Amino acid sequence: MPVWIAVVLGIVQGLTEFLPVSSSGHLALMQSVLDVHKYMDDMLAFDVVLHLGTLTAVVAAFRKDIKELIVEFFGFARDGFKVKDRPYRRMIVMLLIATALMVPAALLDGVISSVMGSTLFIGCALCVTAVMLTFADKSAGGDKTEADAPYRSALLVGIMQLFAIVPGISRSGSTLCGGLFSGFERSFAVRFAFILSIPAVLGAAVLELPDMFADGFDTALLLPCAAGFVCAAVFGYLAIKTVQWLTRKRSLRFFGVYCAAVGIISIVLSIV
């Protein structure tokens, strides 16, 4: 794989993993444009590296929250799983509830793979993401945080994340909208959505590791993988900070307009 393709895919992965515009949809479209199918033998290892890059970005952006969650997790078990007056312990329970709903996604892997390359399907899904973001930006949001958000809110966010296994439906966008529709305070909605991405991103990488090692690792991929990792991490971090700022400014509609435009173009090109 040429390094320049690794750089492009790393930038696309880093930006679209956290910008609410669907990383899976954009990567599928970009792979089609760049005709990377000739490098399919390299893509498994490269996908794992890109996932690790975006994981590094979210850990760096929310390192203080993650540190508190780790500390409270051990205290949570030590104190007999008491959550009263411990906001981060409540947040742990909410994250577990939302993450548990992703288990059925593994059963749908074959179905999702069958539509992954359909630009028509991805275009329609991007339009759905656009509608979702527009409604969330105009009407959603509240004042609930990890201190008082009900557990049923985590259930809604988890369901929204489950929809995001469909290429073209943004995981960050759907979970962010789920939080806003649940009345989360806007900055908490962003934190919860992105921290929730850690199990999903890590799980995707772990599931691919056995196949990667079974096929062996081509040392010629070291430089492309390094370039992809750095680009995914750096641009992922920048994307997170951008979403935090735009969410506070109630400007998610710009992402909605973008998703609608890309979706319509994809639909037209697939038909033509």
Give the number of other CB atoms < 10 A from CB of residue 134: 18
Q: Which long-range contacts (CB under 8 A, 24 or more apart) does 192-195 make?
A: 192/91, 192/94, 192/95, 192/146, 192/157, 193/157, 194/18, 194/58, 194/61, 194/62, 194/240, 194/243, 195/58, 195/62, 195/65, 195/66, 195/69, 195/95
Residue 182 and residue 157 in contact, taking contact as beta carbons nearer than 8 Å: yes
Which has the closest alpha carbon to 49: 198, 212, 171, 200?
A: 212
CA distance 207 to 110: 14
For 234-253, write each residue's pLDDT tens digit. 999 999 999 888 888 877 88
Residue 101 and residue 151 in contact, taking contact as beta carbons nearer than 8 Å: no
CA distance 269 to 11: 24
Alpha-carbon distances of 271 from 130, 139, 238, 259, rounded to whole Å: 20, 34, 35, 18
Residue 240: what pLDDT? 93
Residue 140: what pLDDT? 67
Residue 173: what pLDDT? 87
The encoded tokens of residue 209 equal 């590791």
Residues in the chain predicted with pLDDT less than 50, given as ranges, are: none
Can you give the pTM of this predicted structure? 0.83
Residue 36 and residue 5 in contact, taking contact as beta carbons nearer than 8 Å: yes
